[in-house]
Structure 1
């Protein structure tokens, strides 16, 4: 089973209460995505961004929805074991017994909170974002995925040589951290296929190959929040073990979306992936010489659902593309084009918001 390199892995189904490090910390432009659900008898839960790795650390962001007759969300900070003044927002973006998708985006002004794709509130910074080292979650909530995108520890701006050069110990730019980047967030990867030193987790976002894992290194800068439709050249084209990570959210009320790997000079579509949300199917096909080929439709599951977050990796092999979504192998698509190395263009369109693309 293919596993994305360290630093690309979300945390799946963590035990609550949860406390885990964000190695390398956060910076302006980082985002944290949480996918979860609240029980029918929910009273309150919280998400804390901590300035250290213990429960007593200063809290840069305390996010605390409370269902207590006066439904509200409380924001606050804590310094030297003393809480500051509360910001109370008397609106409730969560529903009891329902799934939710939440994003915490770090802007120059503050923490911009979105719930189920809608802006909720921006809490102004009171403590420097650079101090944040861990996340804590507790209360009446269950979490399916935690995903940090664009963290500071990933060699984006700090290290010579940029992304994924693999010149630091452990083969990823988080050098001194045990298990490489994002190494102790818990959770791991379904199937436990991580190999020895990497317990799974979330990190800043770069990786060279991980020793003994034969993983491809991730080179070049990721693209954050591109507009859709998206069309861009694939730097260096496709080759064996080339992996593309795409993260995003299916729009509410979506009909469908498509992801096309194309040959720019002939306009052939070597690999067309078309989740049809309302029909609950994922169609795969190719269009070569102006003609569509035979559709593949068989799937054991369909992770592309209305309003749902997805985390996809598409790996090019000698015979096929292997596609993983939310940590599960979804399907293989065998090459139909004589030379897959001619593929040099990625297009994404339809009812989808894309948060991250990385080759």
Structure 2
């Protein structure tokens, strides 16, 4: 049992096509197979003897390629981008775009090379690639990716499931 009386816990429920993953304190505890279409869910209810300190929900399935602007027209200092995805093919990329076709930050996991390529593209020229570091991605395995806009770099934090 992942819960202990009087102790805090972090519970996550992730809706997938075939079921709902249930995680407690970053450990998968169950995959609940859907018994009815998940798009019929209309409410969230929490009952019982507990102190609730926060609830966050969000997410939907996005058609890829997908592009959107930032609130206030740009990514602000210390602002975060949080993404959940499941890699399907040999490569995918996340690009932070600027004016005139510039790519201010290019994040490109490549499964065949087992490398994550990071780069930027300015004025029609690619800069020097960064490829060092581990390759934690697996096809068909979901992950959470957070990118934080630091004053002199992009901080990338990855948590795989």
> Cα offset for 1:204?
2.2
Superposition pairs for residues 159-170 of structure 1, below 5 Å?
none
Aligned to 2:91: 256
> Cα offset for 1:279?
1.6
2:2 to 18, 27, 31: 18
Aligned to 2:63: 227
Alpha-carbon displacement from aligned partner over 1:55-90 (angstroms, at most 9, x marks no partner):
xxxxxxx75xxxxxxxxxxx88xxxxxxxxxxxxxx
Aligned to 1:204: 56
Gaps of 5+ in 2: 4-8, 24-28
Contact 2:22/2:30 (8 A) holds in 1: no
Alpha-carbon displacement from aligned partner over 1:126-155 (angstroms, at most 9, x marks no partner):
xx8644669xxxxxxxxxxxxxxxxxxxxx
Aligned to 2:38: 106
Relative contact order higher in (CA < 8 Å, ≥ 6 apart):
1
Kindly report structure 1 stretches of 4+ aligned residues shifted beyond 6 Å: none
How many matched pairs?
144
Aligned to 2:82: 245
1:298 matched to 2:139? The reply is no
Alpha-carbon displacement from aligned partner over 1:290-335 (angstroms, at most 9, x marks no partner):
0001000000x212221111100000011110000008xxxxxxxx
Structure 1 pair 105–286 and aligned structure 2 pair: CA distance change class (3 A): farther
For the aligned residue pairs, the C-alpha RMSD in angstroms reads: 3.5
**Aligned equivalents of 2:80, 2:109: Cα separation in 1:** 20
Gaps of 5+ in 1: 1-16, 36-45, 49-61, 64-74, 77-103, 111-127, 135-175, 182-202, 206-221, 328-359
Structure 1 pair 266–129 and aligned structure 2 pair: CA distance change class (3 A): closer
> Cα offset for 1:18?
2.8
**Aligned equivalents of 2:114, 2:127: Cα separation in 1:** 21
Q: SS of the residue aligned with 1:271?
A: strand
Structure 1 pair 229–133 and aligned structure 2 pair: CA distance change class (3 A): farther
Contact 1:21/1:133 (8 A) holds in 2: no
**Aligned equivalents of 1:311, 1:21: Cα separation in 2:** 15
> Cα offset for 1:266?
1.1
